[in-house]
Amino acid sequence: MTCSKTDGWSIGQRDHRVIKSMMPYWQWFYKNYFQVKSQGWENIPATGGSLLVASHNGGIAAPDMFMAMYDWFVHFGIDRPAYGLMHPTIWKVNPNLADLAVKCGALQAHPKMAVAALKSKSDLLVYPGGVQDVFRLYSERHRIHLAGRTGFIKLALREEVPIVPIVSTGAHETLIVLADFYEQFKTLRQWGLPWLFDVDPEVFPVYLGLPWGLSIGPLPNFPLPCSIRLKICSPIIFEKYGRLACCDREYVQQCYNLVHSKMQESLDELITQRD
């Protein structure tokens, strides 16, 4: 099978010219629309090869993710190699958007690409909570949601890299997720109702937001204006690394619990500062 140039299966598809062209647009949203304030950039190691673990908010628009990207390029420049894992569904649902994302540093969310990025001494951004995180209920907006996925822990242990958590607040107020009817719609799927684009969305939220007003399903949204706060936390260094460590289920779970608790503590502090 022939793959497109920007299929996300290579770390060589990042395009500095595209990133540079996007910076003025991100800057306007950063300074005017979301009035972002960030802290903790000194916690990013001076050399590459860190695993950045974050929680994202605000539906498909995920404005805190894009604002963190802009902030990264402001602090470290476009030349420092940095990538982010992106759900493979995007290539199927919106190839043009996927093409743009790859040119800005997106890679297929696959262990092979995660390892390739870290072995190249690039920084790698991951969102373990996935769509369950980005579409979590409004009432859960102040809770870190990593969906119990421990793959990022195994990755850090195997590649022997530090984890740098990133937390944010505000972006989950750019749309209001009222409920998730995924289980109900999964039942309808079993009765023969097809998924849109023949893709399992993994969530089926009901939310209030632009441009639909009331939306049913994980439709694209335009974020409401809201103040966003970002915090880059201190690196987390585990006691043990290596293949034996990443194969120890109990140890992996302990590391996962540590990262989750540290991120929740940092988010709680950030919310207090914002209030």
Q: Which residues of the chain have pLDDT under 50?
A: 1-3
Whether 71 and 36 have beta carbons less than 8 Å apart is answered as yes
The C-alpha atoms of residue 24 and residue 147 are separated, in whole angstroms, by: 34
The C-alpha atoms of residue 68 and residue 114 are separated, in whole angstroms, by: 19
Residues 6+ apart with CB under 8 A from 144: 55, 167, 260, 263, 264, 267
Residues 6+ apart with CB under 8 A from 146: 55, 128, 129, 133, 256, 259, 260, 263
Per the DSSP assignment, residues forming a β-bridge with 54 are 166
Question: Which CA distances in Å does 33 have to 150, 151, 226?
Answer: 35, 35, 7
- Domain-wise residue ranges, the chain: 16-175+225-274
The C-alpha atoms of residue 151 and residue 108 are separated, in whole angstroms, by: 15
Angle, to 10 degrees, between the axis of helix 63-76 and the axis of helix 16-28? 120
**Tokens found for residue 217:** 């399903």
The C-alpha atoms of residue 207 and residue 177 are separated, in whole angstroms, by: 4
The C-alpha atoms of residue 136 and residue 99 are separated, in whole angstroms, by: 27
Q: Is the peptide bond before 225 cis (omega within 30 degrees of 0)?
A: no
| pLDDT of the residue at 275 | 65
Which option is the CATH number for 16-175+225-274: 1.20.58, 3.40.1130, 3.30.450, 3.40.50? Answer: 3.40.1130
The C-alpha atoms of residue 228 and residue 156 are separated, in whole angstroms, by: 28
| pLDDT of the residue at 128 | 96
Per the DSSP assignment, residues forming a β-bridge with 125 are 52, 84
Q: Which residue from 123, 133, 50 is spatially nearest to 87, judged by alpha carbons?
A: 133
